[in-house]
Amino acid sequence: MVRAQQTDGELWLDAGRQARTGIAEAVYAPGKTPAQCAAAVSGLLADTDGPVLLTRADPAQAAVALERNPGGTTADRTLTWRPLLRRSGSALILTAGTSDLPAAREARAVLAAYGHDADVVADVGVAGLHRVLAQRERLGTADVVLVVAGMEGALVSVVAGLTRAPVIAVPTSTGYGAGLEGVTALLAMMASCSPGVTVVGIDNGFGAACAAVRILRTMP
């Protein structure tokens, strides 16, 4: 990610990242002033070609960044400038509960910036199994599936047994106590009994979307 200009040290804009990896640097807002967020976005718009993202922005950060960099759009806490054109390949994002929605929406916004549609279906936790079973048809045709879940993260094991698509699991820090702020879900997803599940970091909707972009761009 690119950060705001610093007066010491040498800021190193990784301008070639999109060319190398297909995914441009993004600006992670927490810990930056609104002005720093805006400046980082400006820098990326000037020096790179690809989509520019500002993630986890609070309202003040978003307002200044949008004002100084016209043309951006906002989805929840993710701001996007210069999105790629719509391409084939789309993602299905399932969440166990509604409190997993922030990570799901971050993933959807990042996918959109890279030209991929994503449907979010919330609240299909395995305690009421009919909800995920009702997604079987969609799971059969999805290009890639993201499963966002906290607590024990069981949804990913069920989903991976119902689809041929690549499955990316996002553990979330929702819940309290024995969920250990996402560590329980992380470990459980890692140890999933369903073969072929892959996992990204806790609450890392951004990373899951990047992984999905890497997969979707290979689609015909």
Minimum gap (Å) between residue 202 Cβ and its own copies: 3
Please identify, using beta-carbon distances, which residue of 52 and 200 lies nearer to its own copies. 200
For residue 97, count other CB atoms closer than 10 A to its CB. Answer: 19
Q: The tokens of 114 are what?
A: 């890279």
Which of these, 91, 84, 92, lies nearest to 113 by C-alpha position?
Answer: 84
Minimum gap (Å) between residue 70 Cβ and its own copies: 25
d(CA 57, CA 167): 28
Minimum gap (Å) between residue 179 Cβ and its own copies: 5
Please identify, using beta-carbon distances, which residue of 62 and 210 lies nearer to its own copies. 210
d(CA 183, CA 189): 10
Minimum gap (Å) between residue 9 Cβ and its own copies: 3
Contacts by residues 189-193 (CB-CB < 8 Å, ≥ 24 positions apart): 189/149, 189/153, 189/156, 192/156, 192/157, 192/160, 193/157
Minimum gap (Å) between residue 191 Cβ and its own copies: 4
d(CA 79, CA 74): 4
Please identify, using beta-carbon distances, which residue of 70 and 176 lies nearer to its own copies. 176
Please identify, using beta-carbon distances, which residue of 58 and 176 lies nearer to its own copies. 176
Please identify, using beta-carbon distances, which residue of 7 and 85 lies nearer to its own copies. 7
d(CA 198, CA 128): 24
